[in-house]
Amino acid sequence: DVKVTQSSRYLVKRTGEKVFLECVQDMDHENMFWYRQDPGLGLRLIYFSYDVKMKEKGDIPEGYSVSREKKERFSLILESASTNQTSMYLCASSWVGTGGGSPLHFGNGTRLTVT
């Protein structure tokens, strides 16, 4: 079974802090994704990566950056955390592109609170 591991389940940070959310997958998947989930909204894509050192903006990239130095690890960075970034963050990976029939495998999520 594919395992996608997010480094923290719960995180509390202060406004203005730089925040790192880490995600590791163990199945040699090409694609990795970062989503956020907010009440009343669907999962929204922040960034994705289809190869090492490659990244593409999703629907809501503002205030975020990402890093993929190794195939198995995809980091989400909040350069200067703000209260509107309080949310549930989900990492996912897929073998090939989702349009090619490959499902997403999700981590357990990180609930981030910015105070």
Partner 1 sequence: ILNVEQSPQSLHVQEGDSTNFTCSFPSSNFYALHWYRWETAKSPEALFVMTLNGDEKKKGRISATLNTKEGYSYLYIKGSQPEDSATYLCAFTYGGSQGNLIFGKGTKLSVKP
92: CB partners within 8 A, 6+ apart: 4, 32, 33, 35, 104, 105, 106, 107
Residue type, 52: V
10 binds partner 1 (CB under 8 A): no
d(CA 65, CA 57): 9
- The residue (of 85 and 94) whose beta carbon lies closer to partner 1 is 94
* The token pair that represents 30 in the structure block: 């090409």
Report in angstroms how near the CB of residue 14 gets to partner 1 at its nearest.
26
- The residue (of 19 and 109) whose beta carbon lies closer to partner 1 is 109
In the region spanning residues 25 to 84, those forming contacts with partner 1, defined by CB under 8 A, are 31, 33, 35, 40-45, 50, 58-59
Site for partner 1, rule CB under 8 A: 4, 31, 33, 35, 40-45, 50, 58-59, 90, 96-109
